[in-house]
Amino acid sequence: MKKSIRILLLFLITIGCENSDKLTFEPLQIVGEDCSDCPQIDINVPKAIDDTTIANTINRSTEEEIIAYLSFDEEEDIENMKDAIASFTRSFKELATRFPEDTIGWEAKVDGEVVYEDENVLTLAMNIYIFTGGAHGYGATTFLNFDKTKGIELENWELFEDLEDFQQLAEAKFRAQEGIPQEGNINATGFMFEDDEFHLAENIGYTEDGIQFVYNQYEVASYADGPILLTLPFKEINKYLKNKVKS
């Protein structure tokens, strides 16, 4: 009996240790006004609820990203998502008043999720769709990477030990994936890299499958080509990462 209790306690302690490095999140949903002449706004993102510096950093960075997508008047002083939603709604109503017959309903949809977390790093992916008229809307994926130990958001260059060497590897992998000759022009098959030179994607993030690059529409290809993804397994690139991933 005593042996069974000891085994149970050891199991519970082990489970507790495995989960102790995880932050706690709750779903945050915000919708716009429900009226016939209002844009459709639907925001679903995780909100960190721990009383820690990194939790506050994650929530603020998430809010700032949403504000950037919803704000249309650069002169407005927008400090939170409520103000951003009001700005988006006001911009649509003003346009609808001026051009009532030509205005098509606007839409803003944001879905966020934690796609990677270990004791040092957390990555949040945000899928965003904005429609403000025209032939089609704009969809994008944004990665937000955080250093949990320092309580800060990380820029792309801060993810790597040797960015130049890593970029050379990433280019070789990209060429192989997309069928581009290793020695040819990077745009030989129809891509649109600026100055005919490969560059890393604007959005890079940790995922369970490895480091992922997302070239959003228009970044290196046409809208019709959709987003271009490249995932490099950790076992191939771990030596380049400042925050190594345990195998």
Which residue ranges form the domains of the chain, and what is each CATH number? 21-154 (3.30.565.40), 157-240 (3.90.640.20)
Q: 76-79: long-range contacts (C-beta < 8 A, 24 or more apart)?
A: none
Nearest of 219, 177, 185, 181 to residue 200 by alpha carbon: 219
The DSSP symbol for 160 reads: B
Distances (CA, A) of 188 to 67, 103, 185, 195, 247: 38, 40, 5, 13, 37
Q: Which amino acid belongs to residue 41? A: I
Note whether 84 and 72 are within 8 A (CB): no
- Pairwise CA distance, residues 68 & 108, whole Å: 12
pLDDT number for residue 94: 85
Q: pTM for this structure? A: 0.87
pLDDT number for residue 75: 67
pLDDT number for residue 103: 66
Largest CA distance in the chain: 79
- Report, as ranges of residue numbers, the positions in the chain whose pLDDT lies below 70: 1-20, 73-75, 102-103, 247
- Pairwise CA distance, residues 35 & 178, whole Å: 46
pLDDT number for residue 122: 98
pLDDT number for residue 96: 79
Q: Name residue, tokens 């080509």.
A: 225
pLDDT number for residue 102: 66
- Pairwise CA distance, residues 45 & 62, whole Å: 8
pLDDT number for residue 17: 40
Sequence-ordered list of residues with C-beta below 8 angstroms from that of 214, at least 6 positions apart, any chain: 141, 143, 201, 203, 204, 205, 227, 228, 229
3-state secondary structure of 156: helix
State the DSSP H helix or E strand holding residue 210, giving kind and residue range, or none if neither.
strand 210-215
pLDDT number for residue 10: 44
How do strand 40-48 and strand 107-117 relate by DSSP bridges? Answer: parallel
Tokens of 66: 């949403």
Sheet architecture: strand order including 210-215: 203-207, 210-215, 228-232
- Pairwise CA distance, residues 92 & 71, whole Å: 11
